[in-house]
Chains A and B, each alone.
Chain A
Amino acid sequence: MSSVKIDPVIPPDSAFPRYRPVADHALLVELGEAIDPALYERIWQLDAALAAHPIEGVTETVPAYASLLIDFDPVVTDHQRIKQAVERLLRESGDKRAAGTLREMLVCYESPFAPDLDAVASATGLDPEAVIATHLAGSYRVVMYGFVPGFAYLAGTPEVLRLPRKPTPQRGIPAGSVLIAGPQCLVTTLTMPTGWWIIGRSPTAILAEDSDQPFLFDVGDSVRFKRINRRDFDIAARRG
């Protein structure tokens, strides 16, 4: 192993923000290329600024770790006009922290909802109770959604619980499964396969179909997990 690390991918124009046109209907604004809280805070600021000061022709924005996609109607506007408007917003929006709302999610860490709890315990050298306590102590933020509807990437899994993927993914994981995934924590919203570690199940619906606010949280919100026992899980699950 060489002691000198050379990163071959730094392009010659490494100045951010970068504006990348996407076909005839979107502009991708990149503020960096790392997974870094300082970066995604700035993405949320820009996203909030766009919501507060709508740009003509913008149809939606999609925040991710280090980038924001701005989709627009090409009949009304174009890449250049969106870019100029974003540059103005970035100049003016300053350093306001995106506040976000605190959301609570209930989690039951009991069998059969936590098939990987023991494996996580042995991989981390903690006992299962300590894994639960560490997970509960984490401070989580919703960084982005993806993969399937309502599947949120929560940053903030404590260092000690950050494990690589399991060697083989498992199919048919039920909705509500609480997964730890490297530095992220995820709660499934549909039955899906996963290679991540299942440590509990939440009865809190992220995706409420008949509601003015169909998704429990927006990007930038904070999430706190609250432990419940099996009996309370069943009651909460029945309530829906």
Chain B
Amino acid sequence: MASASFVVTAVGPHCSLQDHGRKGLMRFGVPQSGPMDRTAFAAANLALGNPADAPGLEISRTGISLDCTAGSITVAVAGGGFQVEIDGITHGSWSVTTISAGAKLVIKPGFWGNWCYLAFAGQLQATSWLGSVSTHGPSGLGGGRLVLEQQLTIDHAEIRAQRVGDIPCPVFARPRHNLRVVLGPQEHFFSAATIATLLSQLFALSDAYDRMGVRLTGPSLRPDAKLDMPSQAIVRGSVQVSGDGASTVLLADHQTTGGYPKIATIISGDLDGFVQLRSRQQVTFDEISPEAAIDIARTRHQAQQQYFAALHKAVGRARDPA
């Protein structure tokens, strides 16, 4: 059985193995996890002809270097605008290519983006936990974080020459500065003036950014009411405010419950674009109604399904305009 191997020769923090994650376990304290940018992760897999959620690598802003030590395999990179080099030759930041033993794959930070995905035409060997290889950041359970000198083995490695070429990067995979939110569920802890501040002022991502969440800098959103609410469920996209007025957007590995009020929640369709913003980049919040949020989710779902279907089917993309 053909397999391919890589060894990690340089890696930053927050690089990990991911797949679809764990759904339905929040009641046990387990968030879904999975890729930070779900669109880009699916794109990398589908461009290879894989299922959208096949195990792959999530690479953080700092990038990664991998030496291919055995075999030959077609791989796909998608997410953000990273610099992708194989043996010093530059490839598109969203592209499918074949790599063989002796070659060096380097993914470096490029013009934009925080998270990039590497998918393989084969089965990446990985430790599963509760039905998923996704790494739960705080515990390291699942496939785990990538470390220096780690060996990665891909079983059933294939060369899929007809898949080689650029992957189109859709508009909805671009970084998103303008975030649509539904207020609450604890907006009643805040004065009208504070809600107006949220919806009119600029905020920025801070350096306190990992897979659990990102703290924002900007005006204080200090709650007016006493912080006495019993802990409640948290979702990905919750804008949680602590007693001192600092806000944090909770992300893939978020705590499942907490006692701080959530002033607003970012709609699911805007999160992939949000996580591709880097520290110090600015954001604004726009209130929409729950009904509008549902409409947007359905429209997005349709556009995304069309894009995914085309990617999955496409062969010989190198000859098509992206």
Contacts and interface: CB of A to CB of B under 8 A. Distances in A.
Nearest to B271: A23
A152 B235 CA distance: 18
Contacts of A9: 189, 225-226, 228
Interface residues of A, number: 47
B257 A22 contact: no
Given A23-B268, A60-B23, A149 B297 contact: no
B297 A74 contact: yes
Contacts of A78: 290-291, 294
A209 B226 contact: no
30 contacts: A9-B225, A22-B184, A22-B185, A22-B235, A23-B237, A23-B293, A24-B182, A25-B297, A35-B230, A60-B23, A60-B26, A62-B26, A64-B233, A66-B230, A67-B232, A74-B297, A78-B291, A79-B291, A145-B256, A146-B29, A146-B255, A147-B29, A148-B29, A148-B138, A149-B28, A149-B139, A151-B29, A209-B130, A214-B130, A218-B27
Among B28, B225, B267, the most chain A Cβ lie within 10 Å of the Cβ of B28
Nearest to B223: A9
Contact of A24 (B23, B24, B130, B293): B293
Contacts of B290: 21, 24, 78-79
A161 interface: no
A112 to B, nearest CB: 24
A60 B294 CA distance: 18
Nearest to A209: B129
A145 B139 contact: no
A67 B233 CA distance: 8
A34 B230 contact: yes
Contacts of A167: none
Contacts of B30: 149-150
Interface in B199-230: 225-226, 228-230
A61 B22 CA distance: 14
A41 interface: no
Contacts of A147: 29, 255-257
A31 to B, nearest CB: 11
Interface string A14-28: 000000111111101
A24 B228 CA distance: 26
Interface string B145-174: 000000000000000000000000000000
A17 B189 CA distance: 18
A225 B97 CA distance: 58
Interface string B117-146: 000000000000110000010110100000
A146 B293 contact: no
What 7 A-B pairs are tightest by C-beta distance, nearest first? A146-B257, A69-B233, A24-B293, A65-B230, A20-B185, A145-B29, A62-B233
A78 B293 CA distance: 10
Interface of A is mostly: loop
B293 A74 contact: yes
A145 B129 CA distance: 18
Nearest to A146: B257
A20 B184 contact: yes
B277 interface: no
A62 B257 contact: yes
B230 A23 contact: no
Given A9-B225, A21-B185, A23-B293, 13 more contacts: A8-B226, A24-B182, A26-B235, A61-B27, A62-B257, A67-B232, A68-B233, A69-B26, A75-B298, A146-B29, A148-B29, A149-B136, A190-B138
Interface of B: 23-30, 129-130, 136, 138-139, 141, 181-182, 184-186, 188-189, 225-226, 228-233, 235, 237-238, 255-258, 265-269, 290-291, 293-294, 296-298, 301
B32 to A, nearest CB: 9
A147 to B, nearest CB: 6
A117 B237 CA distance: 40
A151 B24 CA distance: 16
B8 to A, nearest CB: 25
Interface in A147-169: 147-153
Contacts of A28: 185, 232-233
A206 to B, nearest CB: 9
A80 B294 CA distance: 11
